Amino acid sequence: MNYEECIEKVLVSEEEIKAAVERLAGEIERDFKDSDKKLLLIGILKGSVVFMADILKKLNIPLETDYIKVSSYGGTSSSGHIKLKAEPDREDLSEYNVVVIEDILDTGNTLSWLLGHLKDDLNATTVKLCVLFNKPSRRKKEVKIDYEGFEIPDEFIVGYGLDYNELYRNLPYVGVLKPFVYEG
Ligand code: PRP
């Protein structure tokens, strides 16, 4: 079976994503270009890899990168259980303004915990959040988004880094999965 047979519709096209990435990079650049602190972009593995790579290439200011691995999902619903699988390389972030790069904000369980961890445990000077896809209808914990790509409905989306059972991350667009795929 190929990907196309599993996708019901394209929700956000490659062109729309490209435009949003350029807009978000412009907003981040504007906010940090004159800061006297170092800028650190932290990507949340694995979903944000594609978004992170694209936004990095659009930022024309000095910055460093790091990655964190957190897991909260099982299948198509968020379990609310946070597992930290990898810390950033840097143990102290007091020299940095941090921007967290995340593919999707769903229940908010992952990000509400993670933003607190970066600020309170790792001492980041500032922590801002850049999210490409926001599903507000699913929110359980309040999370402030500083840079937002798209507000999306409560559908199970895949592509542009987002997976279902580890597949579809390499689609260049975001599509809605046909129910038969996850209903078996
Ligand atoms: C997804 C997504 C976010 C989180 C959002 O990651 O990339 O990190 O879930 O969900 P929440 O707002 O309900 O906490 P996932 O755990 O699926 O891991 P992955 O990025 O490796 O696919």
DSSP string, 14-75: HHHHHHHHHHHHHHHHHHHTT-SSEEEEEEEETTTHHHHHHHHHH--S--EEEEEEEEEEET
Nearest residue (CA) to ligand 1, atom 20? 47
Q: How far is the CA of 155 from the centre of ligand 1 (A)?
A: 15
Hunting for tokens 């990507």 — which residue is that?
43
36 CA to centre of ligand 1 in angstroms = 32
Out of 110, 111, 154, 157, give the residue to mutate to test ligand 1, the one with the largest number of ligand atoms within 8 Å of its CB. 110
Mean pLDDT of successive 10-residue stretches along the chain, which has 184 residues: 92 98 98 96 96 98 94 51 71 94 93 91 96 95 97 95 97 96 85
CA 90 remoteness from chain centre: 20
Global pTM exceeds 0.85: yes
Q: Name the nearest CA neighbour of 182 among 63, 74, 101.
A: 74
Using DSSP's 3-state secondary structure scheme, residue 132 falls into strand
Half-sphere exposure of 174 (CA within 13 A, CB side): 25
CB 43 near ligand 1, within 6 Å: no
- pLDDT score recorded for residue 91: 80
Question: In the block, which residue shows the tokens 């790792």?
Answer: 122
pLDDT value, residue 78: 47
